Amino acid sequence: MDLREYMSVRRAYNIVRQSIDSKKRLTFEEFAILCRLDAANEPVKTSAIAEYQSALRPTMTHRTNHLAGLAYIVRGEGEKDRRNVVCSISDAGREAVAELSTLTRAQIPSGAALSRTSPERICKYVDAMGSVFCKAGDLVLLGVYADDSDSLSIMQLVDALGLLQPTVSMSVSSLADLGLVERSRDAAGQHTTSVRLAPAGLKRAEELSGIIEDVVVRRKLRKPRD
């Protein structure tokens, strides 16, 4: 997967997520779980989902509890081993996948990576991307790294990431405290005018980019020729 493809989908979904009622709002990781279950078309062990997302058991329990509470997934016992908890996508979950994929696709501007793909293909990208966990701070690092310029303003980052301005500002402050980014300020020293990667931030962004580039997006199987 190309980094620009990853950032294009994440930005689009971040915008979509803000427009959804808070009670039905899904994290990107929860959306990815639905996409994986939709593609699997059969019950999947919760432990397998946790392994796919490299998530600890309490984290996965929280995510699946939320999805089950929205009636997007159904949990049950495994057929061979009842100690295993399996998850299946519901009809409501499939409808949510179709709607979110369509909305996400619509938020990718013309000329951007994947702007000419289909909602079904977006679902496959989200499924693949679910294996890479990126916090808001990681997205800020990637946003600066993926841009052709040396630095970006807060509002440019907001536009590039599709995140709210307070989220970006807090992430930049945290990254600066960790020595991952450097900030330029206005004459009064009160407002950040631009953000650039510090050497440690560049190294982290390169590591994340490498992980993303190793992600493989599933392709639709071709029907065998007669």
What is the rounded average pLDDT for all residues in the chain?
Answer: 92
**pTM (predicted TM-score):** 0.90
- The C-alpha atoms of residue 3 and residue 210 are separated, in whole angstroms, by 9
Phi first, then psi: give them for residue 190, nearest 5 degrees: -100, -30
Q: Say which CATH topology domain 136-213 has.
A: Arc Repressor Mutant, subunit A (1.10.10)
**For the segment 12-56, what is each residue's pLDDT rounded down to a tens digit?**
999 999 999 999 999 999 999 999 999 998 899 999 999 999 999
Same fold, 3-129 and 136-213: yes
What's the pLDDT score for residue 150? 86
**For the segment 169-195, what is each residue's pLDDT rounded down to a tens digit?**
999 999 999 999 999 987 776 777 899
Q: Which of 121, 78, 128 is nearest to 98 (CA)?
A: 121
Query: In CATH, what number does 3-129 get?
Result: 1.10.10.10
Q: Where are the domains of the chain?
A: 3-129, 136-213
Please count the helices (runs of H) and the strands (runs of E) in the chain: 10, 5
Please say whether the beta carbons of 1 and 9 come within 8 A. Answer: no
Res. 78 pLDDT band, cuts 50 70 90: low
Please say whether the beta carbons of 14 and 162 come within 8 A. Answer: yes
